Amino acid sequence: MNVLHLSLFVTISCALHCPRNVPYFSTVQCIPNPSLSQARCPSGYRCRPAREEFSATDLYFICCDSSDMQVADYFLEAQLSPEYVPQIPFTLLRSIVLLDQKSGQRVIVEEFDGEVSGVDRVPNDTASYDRLDFVQFEREIDPNAGRFLHFLLARGVVTRPTQIQMYYDYPNFGQEWSNITELDQRLRRGFIEYTTNETVPKQAFYRDMFVVLSFRTEQPLGASRDAETQLDKVLETTNGDLSRLLSHEHFGSRLGAPIGGYFFHLTSRGTVFKSLQDDNDINFAFNAQLNTFVAMMVLLLLLM
């Protein structure tokens, strides 16, 4: 099924004010979080909420200057905080690398809140990019401020289904880069994952929002087998709800506020979620099975 994306541009005639009264590019309404096929704001501008001069309720999205934006602005305007990420990260992460375990393909994400395509990198590509591979901080992380690093990856945050992965107990060596998938038998690191049971329609492409948060603690989260079991239970009981997970007394209180945060959208041909075939595919499969059954019955009658 082909989907036609129509971008509707509407010019607002009333006086609008961008956040903190920063300049705007024009009063033409823009699309927040546009896909690859939709128009984006020019460089130096971002699709941000603007209000009318004499109205506290009417909200419009126009291309506003983004040069003065802080970490809180990004998470609040994307409506991630406080609803999904209760504590705003201290800084933004610099870049992310995702890995598809099946194909070994990687996708590098270097644009914060960017739109990334993982499509057609290899023939017959069905990569879903199901693992966090590398994380780059803005600067080196002082080991004296926390001996262990932890990384949370949430996929499909504001929609269902949702997948949450937790990579925990990575020793902090004070480096700018953290290699998440590198194997080292000397260093004990943990991984837990939870995917909700909802299904997605079968599609040619899947577009998901990713949120990556990093934390540091003085003590490891999985110091014992009981501690690891407790982490698994917390992830299961919160059922993919990122806000509940980060606010949980046995999880969020131990992690504290994120030291780094990042979010973006990725379009890929594969998905980590269960896909539900549409009615046409189901009917086609049923008809094919029915035709095969009828043909076999006819053949048996002819042989009798």
Q: Give me the mean pLDDT over the 187-194 stretch.
A: 88
Q: Supply the pLDDT for residue 301.
A: 66
> pLDDT class for 303, splitting at 50, 70, 90?
low
> pLDDT class for 52, splitting at 50, 70, 90?
confident
Residues 39 and 182 both lie in one domain = no
Q: Supply the pLDDT for residue 2.
A: 41
285 occurs within a structural domain:
no
Burial letters for 192-209: b for 16+ Cβ neighbours within 10 Å, e otherwise?
bebbbeeebeeeeebbbb
> pLDDT class for 289, splitting at 50, 70, 90?
low
The residue among 39, 69, 99 that closes a domain is: 69
Please name which of 72, 48, 68 lies closest in space to residue 60, comparing C-alpha atoms.
Answer: 48
> pLDDT class for 56, splitting at 50, 70, 90?
low
Where is average pLDDT lowest: 2-11, 158-167, 243-252? 2-11
Domain CATH code at residue 226: 3.90.280
pLDDT at 30 over 90: yes
Q: Give me the mean pLDDT over the 130-145 stretch.
A: 92
Residues 121 and 182 both lie in one domain = yes
253 occurs within a structural domain:
yes
pLDDT at 67 over 80: yes
Residues 166 and 246 both lie in one domain = yes
64 occurs within a structural domain:
yes
d(CA 264, CA 212): 9
- At residue 155, the 3 state secondary structure works out as strand
Q: Supply the pLDDT for residue 4.
A: 40
Q: Supply the pLDDT for residue 9.
A: 45
77 occurs within a structural domain:
no
254 occurs within a structural domain:
yes
Please name which of 74, 152, 102, 23 lies closest in space to residue 272, comparing C-alpha atoms.
Answer: 102
pLDDT at 185 over 80: no
Give 103-119 pLDDT, tens digit per residue. Answer: 999 999 999 998 998 88
Residues 40 and 115 both lie in one domain = no
> pLDDT class for 294, splitting at 50, 70, 90?
low
Residues 158 and 225 both lie in one domain = yes
160 occurs within a structural domain:
yes
pLDDT over 90 for what percent of the chain?
Answer: 60
Q: Give me the mean pLDDT over the 279-303 stretch.
A: 57
| Structural domain boundaries, residue 62 | 16-69
Residues 200 and 261 both lie in one domain = yes
pLDDT at 10 over 50: no
Where is average pLDDT lowest: 38-52, 83-97, 182-196, 235-249? 182-196
Q: Supply the pLDDT for residue 278.
A: 45
Residues 112 and 170 both lie in one domain = yes
pLDDT at 54 over 90: no
Which H helix or E strand runs over 189? none
pLDDT at 204 over 60: yes
Residues 164 and 196 both lie in one domain = yes
1 occurs within a structural domain:
no
Residues 167 and 213 both lie in one domain = yes
**Residue 196 tokens, joined:** 């909700």
Residues 253 and 104 both lie in one domain = yes
Sign of the Cα pseudo-torsion (78, 81, 84, 85, in order) = positive
Burial letters for 52-71: b for 16+ Cβ neighbours within 10 Å, e otherwise?
eeeeeeeebbbbbbbeebeb
pLDDT over 70 for what percent of the chain?
Answer: 85
Q: Supply the pLDDT for residue 91.
A: 96
130 occurs within a structural domain:
yes
For residues 162 and 290, which has the higher predicted lDDT (pLDDT)? 162
Where is average pLDDT lowest: 183-192, 228-237, 293-302? 293-302
Q: Supply the pLDDT for residue 270.
A: 93
Q: How far, CA to CA in Å, does 180 sit from each of 70, 81, 271?
A: 27, 26, 21
Residues 200 and 132 both lie in one domain = yes
Q: Give me the mean pLDDT over the 73-96 stretch.
A: 96
pLDDT at 84 over 60: yes
Residues 172 and 25 both lie in one domain = no
Query: How many separate domains does the chain show?
Result: 2
Q: How far apart are the first and last CA of the chain?
A: 45
